[in-house]
Amino acid sequence: MTTIGFVRHGITAWNKEGRAQGHSDIPLDEEGIAMAERIAERLSDEQWDIIYTSPLIRASKTAEIIAERKPGIDLVGDNRLREFCGGLIEGTTESERVGKWGFAWRNLDLGFEPDDEILSRGINFIEEVKKTHPGKRILVVSHGGFIGRLIGSLVPKGDLTWDLGNTSLTIIELRDKENLCRLFNCTEHLQ
Protein backbone atom coordinates (compact mmCIF):
# COMPACT_ATOMS: atom_id res chain seq x y z
CA MET A 1 0.00 0.00 0.00
CA THR A 2 1.40 3.39 -1.06
CA THR A 3 0.78 6.31 1.29
CA ILE A 4 0.56 9.92 0.12
CA GLY A 5 1.04 12.83 2.51
CA PHE A 6 -0.36 16.01 0.96
CA VAL A 7 1.04 19.29 2.29
CA ARG A 8 -0.37 22.65 1.23
CA HIS A 9 2.25 25.38 0.84
CA GLY A 10 2.87 28.08 3.47
CA ILE A 11 0.93 31.33 3.40
CA THR A 12 1.59 34.18 0.95
CA ALA A 13 0.71 37.87 0.89
CA TRP A 14 -1.94 37.08 -1.75
CA ASN A 15 -3.50 34.44 0.53
CA LYS A 16 -3.84 37.09 3.23
CA GLU A 17 -5.35 39.59 0.76
CA GLY A 18 -7.81 37.00 -0.58
CA ARG A 19 -6.31 37.20 -4.08
CA ALA A 20 -6.69 34.25 -6.45
CA GLN A 21 -3.23 32.84 -7.15
CA GLY A 22 -3.62 29.99 -9.62
CA HIS A 23 -0.54 29.77 -11.85
CA SER A 24 0.74 33.17 -10.67
CA ASP A 25 4.13 32.50 -9.08
CA ILE A 26 3.75 34.22 -5.71
CA PRO A 27 6.43 33.62 -3.03
CA LEU A 28 5.92 32.76 0.61
CA ASP A 29 5.95 35.72 2.96
CA GLU A 30 7.83 35.66 6.29
CA GLU A 31 4.91 33.98 8.05
CA GLY A 32 4.71 31.40 5.24
CA ILE A 33 8.38 30.55 5.70
CA ALA A 34 7.85 30.16 9.47
CA MET A 35 4.85 27.89 8.78
CA ALA A 36 6.96 25.78 6.41
CA GLU A 37 9.62 25.45 9.10
CA ARG A 38 6.97 24.20 11.55
CA ILE A 39 5.62 21.52 9.19
CA ALA A 40 9.24 20.56 8.44
CA GLU A 41 9.86 20.09 12.18
CA ARG A 42 6.69 18.00 12.49
CA LEU A 43 7.71 15.74 9.58
CA SER A 44 11.40 15.50 10.51
CA ASP A 45 10.98 12.35 12.65
CA GLU A 46 8.51 10.65 10.31
CA GLN A 47 9.50 8.15 7.61
CA TRP A 48 8.96 9.58 4.12
CA ASP A 49 10.71 8.16 1.07
CA ILE A 50 10.55 10.99 -1.47
CA ILE A 51 9.10 14.49 -1.80
CA TYR A 52 7.31 15.67 -4.94
CA THR A 53 6.47 19.34 -5.36
CA SER A 54 4.71 21.77 -7.61
CA PRO A 55 7.29 23.97 -9.37
CA LEU A 56 5.47 27.16 -8.29
CA ILE A 57 7.71 28.97 -5.81
CA ARG A 58 5.28 29.00 -2.86
CA ALA A 59 5.12 25.19 -2.96
CA SER A 60 8.71 24.48 -4.00
CA LYS A 61 10.10 26.69 -1.20
CA THR A 62 7.87 24.89 1.32
CA ALA A 63 9.15 21.55 -0.03
CA GLU A 64 12.79 22.72 0.11
CA ILE A 65 12.38 23.69 3.78
CA ILE A 66 10.90 20.25 4.53
CA ALA A 67 13.68 18.50 2.59
CA GLU A 68 16.36 20.38 4.55
CA ARG A 69 15.15 18.54 7.68
CA LYS A 70 15.26 15.14 5.93
CA PRO A 71 18.85 14.63 4.71
CA GLY A 72 19.22 12.30 1.74
CA ILE A 73 15.59 12.48 0.65
CA ASP A 74 15.01 13.20 -3.04
CA LEU A 75 13.04 16.33 -3.93
CA VAL A 76 11.38 16.15 -7.36
CA GLY A 77 9.48 18.94 -9.11
CA ASP A 78 6.46 17.87 -11.14
CA ASN A 79 4.43 20.29 -13.24
CA ARG A 80 1.29 18.17 -12.81
CA LEU A 81 1.17 19.30 -9.16
CA ARG A 82 0.79 23.02 -9.90
CA GLU A 83 -2.35 24.87 -8.83
CA PHE A 84 -5.23 25.02 -11.29
CA CYS A 85 -5.19 27.94 -13.71
CA GLY A 86 -7.49 30.72 -12.53
CA GLY A 87 -7.57 32.51 -15.87
CA LEU A 88 -8.63 36.14 -15.71
CA ILE A 89 -9.34 36.12 -11.97
CA GLU A 90 -5.71 35.55 -10.96
CA GLY A 91 -4.51 38.47 -8.86
CA THR A 92 -8.03 39.66 -8.00
CA THR A 93 -10.04 39.64 -4.79
CA GLU A 94 -13.70 38.61 -4.53
CA SER A 95 -14.83 42.26 -4.38
CA GLU A 96 -12.75 43.11 -7.46
CA ARG A 97 -14.28 40.17 -9.34
CA VAL A 98 -17.82 41.22 -8.39
CA GLY A 99 -17.04 44.80 -9.40
CA LYS A 100 -15.68 43.74 -12.78
CA TRP A 101 -17.94 40.82 -13.74
CA GLY A 102 -20.88 40.91 -11.32
CA PHE A 103 -22.04 38.48 -8.64
CA ALA A 104 -22.37 35.64 -11.17
CA TRP A 105 -18.71 35.81 -12.22
CA ARG A 106 -18.27 32.07 -11.43
CA ASN A 107 -20.69 31.28 -14.27
CA LEU A 108 -18.67 33.21 -16.88
CA ASP A 109 -15.96 31.86 -19.17
CA LEU A 110 -12.96 33.55 -17.56
CA GLY A 111 -10.34 31.03 -18.66
CA PHE A 112 -10.43 28.62 -15.70
CA GLU A 113 -8.71 25.27 -16.14
CA PRO A 114 -11.56 22.73 -16.39
CA ASP A 115 -12.02 20.39 -13.41
CA ASP A 116 -11.68 17.31 -15.61
CA GLU A 117 -8.22 18.49 -16.77
CA ILE A 118 -7.13 19.22 -13.18
CA LEU A 119 -8.24 15.76 -12.06
CA SER A 120 -6.73 14.09 -15.12
CA ARG A 121 -3.23 15.39 -14.38
CA GLY A 122 -3.66 14.65 -10.67
CA ILE A 123 -4.81 11.06 -11.18
CA ASN A 124 -2.09 10.56 -13.81
CA PHE A 125 0.47 11.61 -11.19
CA ILE A 126 -1.04 9.29 -8.53
CA GLU A 127 -1.09 6.29 -10.89
CA GLU A 128 2.55 6.89 -11.84
CA VAL A 129 3.57 7.20 -8.16
CA LYS A 130 1.79 3.92 -7.32
CA LYS A 131 3.73 2.13 -10.08
CA THR A 132 7.08 3.80 -9.36
CA HIS A 133 6.97 3.71 -5.55
CA PRO A 134 4.78 0.76 -4.48
CA GLY A 135 4.48 0.47 -0.72
CA LYS A 136 6.39 3.72 -0.12
CA ARG A 137 5.46 6.90 1.76
CA ILE A 138 5.36 9.89 -0.58
CA LEU A 139 5.10 13.56 0.41
CA VAL A 140 3.40 15.86 -2.10
CA VAL A 141 3.71 19.62 -1.59
CA SER A 142 1.15 21.46 -3.66
CA HIS A 143 -1.80 23.87 -3.56
CA GLY A 144 -5.16 23.99 -1.80
CA GLY A 145 -7.42 23.96 -4.85
CA PHE A 146 -5.48 21.17 -6.56
CA ILE A 147 -5.09 19.01 -3.44
CA GLY A 148 -8.74 19.47 -2.47
CA ARG A 149 -10.01 18.32 -5.86
CA LEU A 150 -7.62 15.36 -5.91
CA ILE A 151 -8.55 14.22 -2.39
CA GLY A 152 -12.24 14.45 -3.32
CA SER A 153 -11.56 12.10 -6.22
CA LEU A 154 -9.36 9.69 -4.25
CA VAL A 155 -11.76 9.47 -1.28
CA PRO A 156 -15.19 10.22 -2.77
CA LYS A 157 -17.14 8.87 0.22
CA GLY A 158 -15.40 11.13 2.74
CA ASP A 159 -16.74 14.46 3.90
CA LEU A 160 -13.53 16.19 2.86
CA THR A 161 -14.95 19.46 1.56
CA TRP A 162 -13.31 22.00 3.88
CA ASP A 163 -10.80 24.52 2.64
CA LEU A 164 -7.31 23.25 3.34
CA GLY A 165 -5.20 25.31 5.73
CA ASN A 166 -1.75 26.52 4.77
CA THR A 167 0.84 23.82 5.60
CA SER A 168 -1.96 21.40 6.47
CA LEU A 169 -1.15 17.69 6.29
CA THR A 170 -3.56 15.15 4.80
CA ILE A 171 -2.58 11.46 4.63
CA ILE A 172 -4.23 9.07 2.18
CA GLU A 173 -3.55 5.34 1.98
CA LEU A 174 -3.94 4.19 -1.63
CA ARG A 175 -5.65 0.80 -1.54
CA ASP A 176 -6.85 -1.61 -4.22
CA LYS A 177 -10.55 -1.31 -3.41
CA GLU A 178 -11.15 1.87 -1.45
CA ASN A 179 -8.60 4.52 -0.46
CA LEU A 180 -8.53 5.56 3.19
CA CYS A 181 -8.00 9.05 4.58
CA ARG A 182 -5.95 8.64 7.77
CA LEU A 183 -5.55 12.36 8.51
CA PHE A 184 -7.29 15.38 7.01
CA ASN A 185 -6.33 19.06 6.97
CA CYS A 186 -4.24 18.77 10.15
CA THR A 187 -2.44 21.93 11.28
CA GLU A 188 -1.62 20.96 14.87
CA HIS A 189 2.03 21.96 14.23
CA LEU A 190 0.86 25.60 14.02
CA GLN A 191 -0.73 25.58 17.49
pLDDT tens-digit readout, 38-58: 999 999 999 999 999 999 999
User: β-strand 2-8 against 169-174: which pairing, if any?
Assistant: antiparallel
Q: Catalytic: which of 37, 83, 90, 113?
A: 83
pLDDT band at 157 (very low <50, low <70, confident <90, very high): confident
CATH classification of the domain holding 63: 3.40.50.1240
Residue 162's pLDDT band (cuts 50, 70, 90): confident
Known active-site residue 128: no
Instruction: Give 177-180 contacts, CB < 8 A, sequence gap 24+.
Output: 179/154, 179/155, 180/155
Write down the pTM of the prediction. 0.95
58 annotated binding-site participant: yes
Domain of residue 130, residue span:
2-190
Structurally, the chain folds into a number of domains equal to: 1
Taking only the tens place, the pLDDT of each residue in 86-117 is 999 999 999 999 999 999 999 999 999 999 99
40 assigned to a ligand binding site: no
**CA angle, corner 55, sides to 20 and 149, nearest 5?**
55
83 is catalytic: yes
Query: Is 101 annotated to bind ligand?
Result: no
